[in-house]
């Protein structure tokens, strides 16, 4: 094993397209992990696994920066002139206005400065590593490429990792990719080129494990990770001045030039043509210059903007820079992330398909409130045998828990399983029965199953990919009794739900021998009964639809830029009234566009799916190239570069 890894070659390698054994070879490691000596050598080569900490501006420099605009320069010049003329009260008033303006801006920026450092906190603190075949807990900053690590539920992933073994492994990547659902991961090689959100054999730093276990090889650390790339992109993105500041600077420059020209003409005329003494004409032009300077303007602007900041604070919006209030009023287009901004960021079962009925589910998110309806009326599950059994399966074949904290409901476990738990509670069938055995979800089999003791019978409940469960089941449950499964019917329902952007999840059950104590895949091949399908989606926030209508009425365009699936983006866009309900551009299509093509695309299209942080940044830049005043909203790290580049960036929510 050698430490002579080529850092640049590693950066160029798409490890998701590399087989497990080849991954070991490229990283000069093996299943036992690195030796301590080798790890130390690589640590010296690659550096610690942490993001570079840039030295921020000192408090003094940030305070002095508040004076950096043309109008302030003019006012400072006026204060000097009034002092020379002996008008010390005027001098004090002008300086007071300038200093108060600087203090307000300095304090307001200080309140929000800490939020920009939160990206650093996303890195894991510890990692379980194999060194020479021995499992050890290690400070995550000491990880190096080639380290073999173990991942478990609740872990923050400490580096970018090529997975080499998984068991029911799921991660939440919403902050990095915008994907609302927990993502099932596997270890097999992906042959085709894939966007970040579809590299299912990779796990990325800053994301977290919600279910299952995995073993992986570290492929990149620190600033070479995907999170590090975003951090680098963020530091390289230049903030632009607000429209108000640009106008003030422009006005200040023009005013200064006009004043100097005017007093120059007056000085020449008075001194050479009218016979005034040098002292007299100097005092006269100083007086003219002072009277021409609108020293009250910055005060009025500062007070007006401060009032705006206070009103925004009352609505729980923190304004980092005073002029941003005016920018907000000048916006012509709003680019919004989907997950957690336009939607709740909480998976919800909205549809249930059984053999004979199509149910709608009220409510959204993890709050277990809302009815299950059919044909406009509320349904009692106890009077509907197929629905009752469906909800029982949703509750029993489930490892998630719904927890209430101060009126807010959260899910412990997979968001998808959380959605199934909630719909069971809504239907009054969140039963608690003994679990005898289980088969955890595996990407190869695409389902989870549990063996339970129900009313002195041994019942197998299982849920998973619809195509897999249709293949396993011989029967389906109708209104009265079981019947031979109608695969064509269920495939039509799968297409119907998927076409509306829902993730379709199938549920089935079967009765086995009462003495059964174990559960295997072979037990699911006889007598299994298909119960139905759940349509799951991250629903739009109810208040967002009205807000979008208000924006349209005000002449503001709204564009959705998300990392989610194309079908999901299309469905949510249609529900929210964004776009024409049909035209959607994917990240893969954006990747191939030139800057000029991108400039045209942002004019023609309002919904963009499967986008990366780089795509979001390019889209904002393209809008600005079209002379749009662009606001960008988002709640994930993947939105950060675009938030910084936009004319006004709006970081959303508490997440």
C-alpha angle with apex 276: 270 to 281, nearest 5 degrees? Answer: 65
Going by C-alpha positions, the residue among 230, 54, 345, 197 that lies closest to residue 645 is 230
Contact present, 186 and 443 (Cβ < 8 Å)? yes
> Whole-model pTM?
0.68
Going by C-alpha positions, the residue among 252, 242, 291 that lies closest to residue 73 is 252
Q: What is the pLDDT of residue 296?
A: 64
Q: What are phi and psi of 518, to 5 degrees?
A: -125, 170
Q: Is 261 helix (H, G, I), strand (E, B) or coil?
A: helix
Question: pLDDT at residue 443 above 60?
Answer: yes
Q: What is the pLDDT of residue 500?
A: 83
Give pLDDT tens digits for 243-275.
767 777 777 778 878 888 988 898 888 888 887
Going by C-alpha positions, the residue among 587, 588, 618 that lies closest to residue 600 is 618
Q: Catalytic one among 155, 337, 442, 564?
A: 337
For CA atoms 71, 72, 73, 76, the dihedral sign is positive
DSSP E strand boundaries for 388-456:
401-405, 408-412, 435-439, 447-454
Select the more confidently predicted residue: 193 or 235.
193
CB contact set of 166 (below 8 Å; sequence gap of 6+) = 185, 186, 187, 212, 213, 214, 215, 443
Can you list the pairs that 60-68 forms with residues at least 24 positions away whose Cβ atoms lie under 8 Å? 62/106, 62/109, 62/110, 63/102, 63/106, 66/101, 66/102, 66/103, 66/105, 66/106, 67/98, 67/102
Mean pLDDT along residues 512-527: 88
Would you call 134 exposed, middle or buried from its count of C-beta atoms within 10 A (0-12, 13-18, 19+)? exposed
Residue 557 pairs with which residues in a beta bridge?
333
Q: What is the pLDDT of residue 504?
A: 93
Of 309-318, 346-355, 383-392, the one with minimum mean pLDDT is 309-318
Mean pLDDT along residues 415-419: 90
Q: Is 430 helix (H, G, I), strand (E, B) or coil?
A: coil
Mean pLDDT along residues 48-75: 74
Length of the chain: 655
Is residue 442 part of the annotated active site? The answer reads: no
Give pLDDT tens digits for 469-508.
999 999 998 766 788 999 999 999 998 888 888 889 999 9
Going by C-alpha positions, the residue among 381, 353, 350 that lies closest to residue 363 is 350
Can you list the pairs that 298-305 forms with residues at least 24 positions away whose Cβ atoms lie under 8 Å? 298/71, 298/72, 298/75, 298/97, 298/98, 298/101, 299/97, 299/100, 299/101, 301/244, 301/248, 302/97, 302/100, 302/101, 302/104
Q: Among 92-101, 102-111, 167-176, name the most confident range.
A: 167-176
CB atoms within 10 A of CB 61: 9
Distance, CA of 411 to CA of 402 (rounded, Å): 5
Can you list the pairs that 125-130 forms with residues at least 24 positions away whose Cβ atoms lie under 8 Å? 125/156, 126/158, 127/158, 127/159, 128/152, 129/33, 130/31, 130/32, 130/33
Q: What is the pLDDT of residue 26?
A: 92
Mean pLDDT along residues 179-196: 85
Distance, CA of 564 to CA of 181 (rounded, Å): 9
Q: What is the pLDDT of residue 126?
A: 83
Mean pLDDT along residues 81-101: 77
What's the Cα-to-Cα distance from 456 to each of 127, 388, 452, rounded to whole Å? Answer: 44, 18, 10
Contact present, 196 and 226 (Cβ < 8 Å)? yes
Q: What is the pLDDT of residue 4?
A: 61
What's the Cα-to-Cα distance from 8 to each of 43, 53, 573, 595, 598, rounded to whole Å? Answer: 16, 22, 40, 27, 30
Contact present, 3 and 42 (Cβ < 8 Å)? yes
SS (H, E, C) 28-63: CCCCCCECHHHHHHHHHHHCCCCCCCCCCCCHHHHH
Question: pLDDT at residue 537 above 50?
Answer: yes
| DSSP structure string for 564-582 | S-HHHHHHHHHHHT-S-SS
Distance, CA of 515 to CA of 510 (rounded, Å): 15
| Rounded-to-5 percentages of helix, strand, coil across the chain | 45, 20, 35
Contact present, 393 and 460 (Cβ < 8 Å)? no
Mean pLDDT along residues 549-555: 92
């Amino acid at each position: 094993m050698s430490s002579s890894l080529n850092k640049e070659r590693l950066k160029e390698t798409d490890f998701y397209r590399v087989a497990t054994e080849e991954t070991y070879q490229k990283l000069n490691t093996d299943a036992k992990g690195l030796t301590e000596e080798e790890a130390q050598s690589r640590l010296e080569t690659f550096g610690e696994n942490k993001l570079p900490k840039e030295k921020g501006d000192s408090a003094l420099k940030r305070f002095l920066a508040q004076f950096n605009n043309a109008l302030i320069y003019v006012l400072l010049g006026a204060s000097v002139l009034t002092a020379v003329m002996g008008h010390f009260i005027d001098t004090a008033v002008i300086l007071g206005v300038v200093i108060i303006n600087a203090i307000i801006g300095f304090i307001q920026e200080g309140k929000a400065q800490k939020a920009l450092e939160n990206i650093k906190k996303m890195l894991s603190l510890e990692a379980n590593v194999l060194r020479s075949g021995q499992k050890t807990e290690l400070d995550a900053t000491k990880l190096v490429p080639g380290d073999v690590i173990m991942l478990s539920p609740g872990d923050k992933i400490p580096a970018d990792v090529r997975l080499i073994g998984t068991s029911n492994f799921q991660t939440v990547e919403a902050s990095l990719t915008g994907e609302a659902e927990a993502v099932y991961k596997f270890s097999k090689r992906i042959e085709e080129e894939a966007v970040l959100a579809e590299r299912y054999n990779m796990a990325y730093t800053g994301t977290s494990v919600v279910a299952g276990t995995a073993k992986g090889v570290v492929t990149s650390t620190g600033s070479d990770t995907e999170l590090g790339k975003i951090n680098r992109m963020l530091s390289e993105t230049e903030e632009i001045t607000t429209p108000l500041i640009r106008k003030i600077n422009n006005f200040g420059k023009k005013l200064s030039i006009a004043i100097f020209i005017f007093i120059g003409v007056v000085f020449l005329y008075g001194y050479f043509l009218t016979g005034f003494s040098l002292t007299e004409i100097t005092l006269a032009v100083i007086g003219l210059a002072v009277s021409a300077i609108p020293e009250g303007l910055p005060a009025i602007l500062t007070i007006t903007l401060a009032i705006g900041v206070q009103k925004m604070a009352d609505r729980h919006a923190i304004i980092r820079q005073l002029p941003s209030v005016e920018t907000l009023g000048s916006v012509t287009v709003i680019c919004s992330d989907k997950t957690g901004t336009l939607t709740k960021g909480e998976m919800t079962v909205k549809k249930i398909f059984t053999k004979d009925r199509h149910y709608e589910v009220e409510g959204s998110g993890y709050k277990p409130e809302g009815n299950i309806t059919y044909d406009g009326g509320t349904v009692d599950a106890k009077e509907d045998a197929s629905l009752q059994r469906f909800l029982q399966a949703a509750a029993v074949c489930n490892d998630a828990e719904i927890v209430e904290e101060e009126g807010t409901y959260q899910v412990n476990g997979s968001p998808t399983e959380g959605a199934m738990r909630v719909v069971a509670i809504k239907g009054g069938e969140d039963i608690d029965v003994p679990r005898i055995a289980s088969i955890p979800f595996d990407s190869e089999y695409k389902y989870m199953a549990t063996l339970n003791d129900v009313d002195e019978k041994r019942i197998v409940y299982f849920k998973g990919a619809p195509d897999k469960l249709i293949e396993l089941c011989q029967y389906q449950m109708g209104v009265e009794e079981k019947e031979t499964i109608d695969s064509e019917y269920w495939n039509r329902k799968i297409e119907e739900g998927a076409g509306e952007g829902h993730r379709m999840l199938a549920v089935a059950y079967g009765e086995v021998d009462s003495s059964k104590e174990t559960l295997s895949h072979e037990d699911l091949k006889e007598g299994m009964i298909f119960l139905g399908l759940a349509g799951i989606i991250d629903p739009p926030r109810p208040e967002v639809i009205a807000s979008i209508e208000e924006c349209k009425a005000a002449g503001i365009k709204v564009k959705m830029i998300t990392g989610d699936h194309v079908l999901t983006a299309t469905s949510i866009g249609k529900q929210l009234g964004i776009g024409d309900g049909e035209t959607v551009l994917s990240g893969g299509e954006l990747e191939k566009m030139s800057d000029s093509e991108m400039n045209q695309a942002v004019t023609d299209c309002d919904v963009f799916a499967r986008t990366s942080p780089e795509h979001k940044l390019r889209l904002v830049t393209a809008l600005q190239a079209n002379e749009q005043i662009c606001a960008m909203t988002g709640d994930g790290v993947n939105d950060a570069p675009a938030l910084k580049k936009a004319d006004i960036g709006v970081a959303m929510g508490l997440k």
